[in-house]
Structure 1
Amino acid sequence: MNQKVSDRIKILGFFMTCFMVFYHCGSVGNSNTFGAFDASCNSFLNYIFNTMGMVVMSHFFAVTGFLLFYHLNMKNYSSKIKRRVFSLLIPYVMWQIIIAIKYVLQNEYTFSIKNFIYRTFYLVTWPIDGPMWYVYAIFLLALISPVFLLMFKNKKVGWCMVLIIIVFLRAQGKFNIPVFTRIANHGYVGNIIWYFPSYLVGAFYGRFYDELNEEKSLVYVLSLLFLACLLQGVLPGIFYDITIRMMPIMSLFLLPVIPSLKDKWVYRLTFLMYAMHQPLIADVKPHINNLYKVVLMPDSVRNILTRVIILAIDIALAAAIYIVLKKFAPKGLNALTGSRD
């Protein structure tokens, strides 16, 4: 794999996780507005962070598909799945256990084996450690990757199938095919379907990466965007939706790699930050909001400050856990992070 692409994946993975923390902090209402300008700034900030939530998940799905299908074939399928048992499934289950214990100690969750299994493995909204739904989803998608390998036997045919599937998924959202709608309404299956175009295009680019030179690398994305533009008249919003979902692939090939951002130690914390950020937000945010009752400030400032404080705590806690486990329980660290080091 091109070193620049590899560097972009690491760098973007960290910054996208930071934005996911910002997103899950939630919108800030105009409860302490310092005039119309402050209210407008605050609303704009809420829009930015909410939109970035979609960009981030599109990035995660696209990059995951890309990495799985890079050099994937039926001969190494089993070995890739075994690696993903350790990098995805085991960390997913362990974090469900850890957060379940946390909630039990806080009297926020009544533990039972049946309920734990149900919330962990049945794709219901949401697992105990909510954001980790994505980790379980991409593990399940990896299991069915041979289906897409068959589809990607031929590059042109494979891309046509990608276009057909993406348009079908968007059209189904408008016309509501009964059987498909029932499936999509189960738990977070709808979320998986929503970001599946990103995963599918990422998988296509991973599968044919070695055949794509820089000149041809984005031709396929451009063709999809052009198709979405043409279909905008019958499927309103498709161009906006597809553009957001294709941004990650374009980023992997277009963004410059800033030397000062390469190989930073903090990137080792990315998975820990992601795994524990939402429970952390639930614990920390009420205390920050209480502080604002004493120290009044514009809503737009409060909007940014809340997210920055929570992100800083998330990074600091992840660093502390990483350093302690790295020294005293490296195998435990590998289990919690899927050996992402």
Structure 2
Amino acid sequence: MITFNQVDKSFTEDRKAVKGLSFTIERGEFFVLIGPSGCGKTTTLKMINRLIDASSGTITINGSNHTDVNMHELRWNIGYVLQQIALFPHLTVAENIAVVPEMKKWKQDDIQKRVNELLELVGMDPETYRDRLPADLSGGQQQRIGVARALAGDPDIILMDEPFSALDPLVREQLQKDIKALQQRIKKTIVFVTHDMNEAALLGDRIGMMEAGVLLQVGTADELKRNPATPAVEAFIGRSVEKKNLSLKESLTPTDRSEYIRTHRDEQRVTVQFIINEHGEWVTTFNDHNELETMISIDASSSVKSAFELLESSHLPALPVQENGKVIGSVSYKDLARALV
């Protein structure tokens, strides 16, 4: 359990980054801090492991003031995952994961066993990946190793600071699903920072909405949507909902079509080709094995939300966008993600 009691943080005499924070994160809870840039959510996260110290107030972990705990011991028992991943480039995957167990002076046999366990836990085969360097991995794989490293010392708490925001939308979506499933298995307390309401709603047991250093409301995603405590909460959630309900034509410019072929690739290099005739009419779709794909398209008047749902159900990386029976472009996960930012 993590409890903030009237916590302030000032970086200058006339500026408080956070003001009067008082809330509790329960043991085993997936708690999400959300808000616009500069709202104080990352500062709040960093005060838990004392990368930033509070100016006033108290933070307790399982009933003990965290300033009474040795700094190194505190951080060894709190996992930390960053957007930048921050793997050591000169260390192998196994050596990166083993950093905290090495500091805690675990036996080598126990460390190697733990490395293998964690690689399997995050869906990566130990024999294939343990001796690779970070540069040999994709962005999504590197982030999985970052999660494994955060779990290596068997911490009770894991802090995650916008860990998926720099990733390709397809990879990001899969990692969101994976971290949610992982949390249900390991029952760790996770504190997660994001500016994306859809991500917060997907992952969080509860969400803390912040603005200008103030915690405006804490509740489930449904509670925040149905009963926003302030106009600022309502406006922030409303912007997310409004963007999802915009039509494709209102929210983005579909990718310009070529005369015959539009090609999109996801991280696994799966290629889809949309064959278009000289009148701009869609003929068919092939994958990179020259196999005929199901004829699926989406109308330009459809909402962004509908496009996401159709992409997910079709298992295609992109869809042709039609208006009045003619293809005016194509839309992919990346296009939709940009429209929602």
Bigger proportion of residues as helix: 1
Is the TM value for this pair above 0.5? no
Place the TM-score, normalised by the shorter chain, in its bin: under 0.3
Structure with larger Rg = 2
Bigger proportion of residues as strand: 2
TM-score (norm 1): 0.20
